[in-house]
Amino acid sequence: MSETKKAVSAVEWDLSDLYASPDDPRIEQDIELLIQRAKAFESTYKGKIDCLALTAGTLGDSIREYDSIARDASKLDAYASLRFAADTSDPARGALLQRTMEKITEITLPLLFFDLEIAKADNSIIEGLLADPCIAPHQHYIRTARLLRPFQLSEIEERLLQETSNTGIKAFRRLFEEVTSRMTFDVDSEGLTQSQVLALLYSPDREKRRTAAAALSEGLGQHANTIAFIFNTVLQDKSVNDRLRHYKYPEQSRHLSNELDREIVDIVIETCTSNYSVVKRYYSKKREVLGLPQLTHFDRYAPLFSSEDACSWDAARDIVLESFGEFSPVMRSAASEFFDKNWIDAAPRKGKRGGAFCHYVTPDLHPFILQSFLGRNKDITTLAHELGHGVHSYLSRGQTYLNFHGTLPMAELASTFGEMLVFDKLQKRASAKERLALYADKIEGSFATIFRQAAMFRFEQAIHKHRRECGELTVDDYGRYWQDNIQEMFGDSVILGDEHRLWWAYVNHFIASPFYVYAYCVGELLVLSLYQKYREDGARFADRYMDVLRAGGSLAPQELMSKLGVTLHDPEFWRGGVAILEREVSEFESLWAEYKAG
Ligand SMILES: [Zn+2]
């Protein structure tokens, strides 16, 4: 055990490829230079893009300079935010981050006109330039910016909306964050934060889970009227905005930014909601494993068993690299660099940010990964997840900065795939008991990302519709839509108690970015469906998949998937993902039968 800690405690990242230290004079030089470049960009190109005399040369030069300013500014951001994430308790790191953000705003402001002008420029002129060889690498960026064209208002109207939003919708979003982050939840006369109380729902002790659930509802209940007021305001703000911009239905703006059409999203959601039976099957079996007469809202995340053996950092690295290597040698060698060149910070430390992430940084550098590795199976899958992201961004480094990041539903393309590969490996070498726990984790994780988000999307559709057709909603209205949609997912396998009626009230996505939730659902089901295709096509699939990763965000989702012979409009493709989940649940059922008998 101490061996594990010793080894992993030395796993810290080396940020010197960004800057040598917080006192590195290059930081100040880069800030000054970028401010000058941004100002020069504005004076050179403002009014020249949305202009009848626009040439391919001007458009090409401007995009390349824009790309380069954005890329270099993001290195400053990466350095300050990565240092802060490594130790959030150090005030100097917080101050550097705050200062960097302010400077980046200063760099960004003079650039704001650019996207607007690209969107507004005359159609026949832009279409004529798109075929020019110097514009070709930027086609996707230009086309995406121009998708918003029919929904943009005049510059004066846009500015008015922008400026008044700080005391309007943005103020309500901030109020929501303030209200929810200041809430305390009373557990055994101790005031817990939201994340602390939610963590207790994973406790093996049922009484602890029951107490936590009651405290969560009690805490939310005290602010329910305020939160319902904020929700009503957000719904109405969206309704007004959609009307002014001539969006035809509430989800339309989200579909545009995700570069997905309505038909695809509807097929995915329909595939999920018509297969809720798999959720019911799993939880019925989980109830049996836990030996409870009935499962309720605070039993969903209950672990099957209370402890497991810890895995060393070296062993975890070997498992991940082996699994990646069996899929593709390219994936393995890309992932190896992260270990060999110190791009990972895995040491658990006080003050380090919670959770895990992979920061893509820029195409001319390399990504960084942060996690706190404690040797549990879920730490190994987290490592696989983040390394999947890492390999994705590493392979996309041939792209320009603006083509580097994919859309939201494509963001988990390699991470979830990496998890699948490692899961297959882990479960093959595990004992019967460990396999049961592994399957439970895997299935519950997928359910939370796929079916739960689909149910939440349905809830969101219902409340937006209600606000538009019947006016404001009461706390009870929200509770009814919430309970109905989530209960439908479980069937009779989990009976949600009345306390659960308030649990819509802490979901930040509903406030911060309406209809965000479906991207999780589309993204994860997409990867499961692709994994199914990999099982059918084998090595041939792996090579083409690597090509998709190399394309980064240079193509729209459907264009990327065409490289794999996938049509996102085909319901059968999405059924493949559900088939994987069904097989996992069957496997869980037979593992339990064996375990019980043995
Ligand atoms: Zn991820």
- The pTM for the full model equals 0.88
C-alpha 251: how far from chain center: 18
pLDDT tens digits for 173-191? 989 988 988 899 999 988 9
Q: How far is the CA of 509 from the centre of ligand 1 (A)?
A: 16
Q: How far is the CA of 62 from the centre of ligand 1 (A)?
A: 32
Q: How far is the CA of 118 from the centre of ligand 1 (A)?
A: 31
Q: Is 72 exposed, middle or buried (0-12, 13-18, 19+ CB in 10 A)?
A: middle
Q: How many CA atoms lie within 13 A of 160 on its CB side?
A: 8
Q: How far is the CA of 202 from the centre of ligand 1 (A)?
A: 21
Q: Is 523 exposed, middle or buried (0-12, 13-18, 19+ CB in 10 A)?
A: buried
pLDDT of residue 308: 67
C-alpha 343: how far from chain center: 21
Express as a percent the part of the chain with pLDDT over 70. 99
CA angle 410, 527, 403 (to 5 degrees): 20
Three-class DSSP category at 390: helix
Q: How far is the CA of 46 from the centre of ligand 1 (A)?
A: 37
pLDDT of residue 1: 38
119: tokens are 């969107």
Backbone phi and psi for residue 543, each to the nearest 5 degrees, phi listed first = -65, -45
pLDDT of residue 2: 40
Q: How far is the CA of 246 from the centre of ligand 1 (A)?
A: 34
How many residues are given for the chain?
A: 598
Q: How far is the CA of 19 from the centre of ligand 1 (A)?
A: 26
Q: How far is the CA of 453 from the centre of ligand 1 (A)?
A: 15
Q: In what order do the strands lie in the sheet with 344-345?
A: 344-345, 368-370, 357-359
Q: Are strands 190-192 and 344-345 parallel, antiparallel or unpaired?
A: unpaired
State mean pLDDT over 303-312: 81
pLDDT of residue 558: 94
Q: How far is the CA of 385 from the centre of ligand 1 (A)?
A: 6
Q: How far is the CA of 389 from the centre of ligand 1 (A)?
A: 7
Q: How far is the CA of 358 from the centre of ligand 1 (A)?
A: 8
Indicate the average pLDDT of the chain. 93
State mean pLDDT over 369-394: 93
Is residue 394 a contact partner of residue 551, using CB atoms and an 8 Å limit? no
**What Rg, from alpha-carbon coordinates, does the chain have?**
25
- At residue 234, what is the residue type? V
Report which of 504, 507, 506, 508 is spatially closest to residue 476, judged by C-alpha positions: 504
pLDDT tens digits for 252-270? 999 999 999 999 999 999 9
Q: Is the pLDDT of residue 161 over 90?
A: no
Backbone phi and psi for residue 373, each to the nearest 5 degrees, phi listed first = -85, 120
Q: How far is the CA of 201 from the centre of ligand 1 (A)?
A: 22
First to last CA, the chain: 30
Q: How far is the CA of 122 from the centre of ligand 1 (A)?
A: 38
Q: How far is the CA of 524 from the centre of ligand 1 (A)?
A: 10
Q: How far is the CA of 382 from the centre of ligand 1 (A)?
A: 9
Q: How far is the CA of 591 from the centre of ligand 1 (A)?
A: 29
State mean pLDDT over 149-158: 86
Q: Got the DSSP string for 469-504?
A: HH-PPPHHHHHHHHHHHHHHHHTTSSB--GGGGGGG
- The residues pairing with 186 across neighbouring beta strands, listed in sequence order, are 191
Which residue stretches of 87-192 are H helix?
91-108, 113-120, 123-130, 139-147, 155-165, 169-182
